[in-house]
Amino acid sequence: MRNRALARVAVACLTTVACAASPARVSDVPATTLIAGDGSTVDARRLAGSARWTVLIFFAPHCHCLDAHDARIRALYEAYHPRGVEFRMVDSETRGSRERDGAEARRRGYPFAILLDPGAKLADALGAEYATYSVVVDAEGRVRYRGGIDSDKMHLHDDVRPYLRFALDDLLARRAVRIPEAKTLGCALERW
């Protein structure tokens, strides 16, 4: 009898830990404070509401997979920004800083800001665990796509599945997103 009681307690504890380690992902961008390169604060919900569609891509400067996607990210910006889509990188890593992010944005040629996510609150809420994890939100802050930029880790292949491009094309054409969630291929974020 005592062993059964102990087993139930152990299972309850393990279940509680597993639940705490994997918080439910939200379907709306939460009111979370991000920090811009100039030190000003940006509310993530207001950022999402600043355009018809906003793409948030999670950032890690040490990630070789992100390095391989830099040109693709810039190409997505060039193709979709003129159509009213905003892009932002989000740095949720423990060693993130405005200075580092500004230097990385310049070095990589990003035509958009890298925003700091202190405490990884936005990453936690949206389920971001890897660099290149992308989220598309509408003007009301609702998540419409989450996952990888595409199906490649390092090199663009002929049979690549451009998940983020598919999502943006569908949304701009006022269609349901054909793949609303996709696998992310990137380095684990060194989170808070």
110-145: b (≥16 Cβ within 10 Å) or e: bebbbbbbeebbbbbbbbbbbbbbbbbbbeebebbb
Please report whether residue 141 resides in a domain. yes
pLDDT digits (tens, 9 = 90+) for 103-119: 999 999 999 999 999 99
Please report whether residue 121 resides in a domain. yes
Report strand pairing: 134-138 vs 53-59.
antiparallel
Other CB atoms within 10 Å distance of the CB of residue 68: 18
Please report whether residue 7 resides in a domain. no
Please report whether residue 183 resides in a domain. no
Confidence of residue 126 (pLDDT cuts 50, 70, 90): very high
pLDDT above 80 (res 3)? no
CA separation for the pair 190, 62 (Å, rounded): 10
Number of domains in the chain: 1
Please report whether residue 36 resides in a domain. yes
Range of the domain at 142: 25-172
Please report whether residue 9 resides in a domain. no
Q: Please, is 109 exposed, middle or buried when counting C-beta atoms within 10 Å of its C-beta (0-12, 13-18, 19+)?
A: exposed
Weakest-pLDDT range from 4-13, 26-35, 74-83: 4-13
The pLDDT > 70 percentage for the chain reads 86
* pLDDT, mean of residues 53-65: 96
Give the E-state strand segments of 19-175 in sequence order: 33-35, 41-43, 53-59, 85-91, 114-116, 134-138, 143-147
Please report whether residue 20 resides in a domain. no
Of residues 115, 113, 93, the one with CA closest to residue 192: 93
* pLDDT, mean of residues 30-43: 94
Torsion sign, CA atoms 163, 89, 60, 116: negative
CATH number at residue 153: 3.40.30.10
pLDDT above 70 (res 5)? no
> What's the pLDDT score for residue 25?
67
Amino acid found at 27: S
Please report whether residue 93 resides in a domain. yes
> What's the pLDDT score for residue 9?
32
CA separation for the pair 15, 22 (Å, rounded): 11
Cβ atoms 79, 113 nearer than 8 A: no
pLDDT above 70 (res 20)? no
Q: Please, is 190 exposed, middle or buried when counting C-beta atoms within 10 Å of its C-beta (0-12, 13-18, 19+)?
A: middle
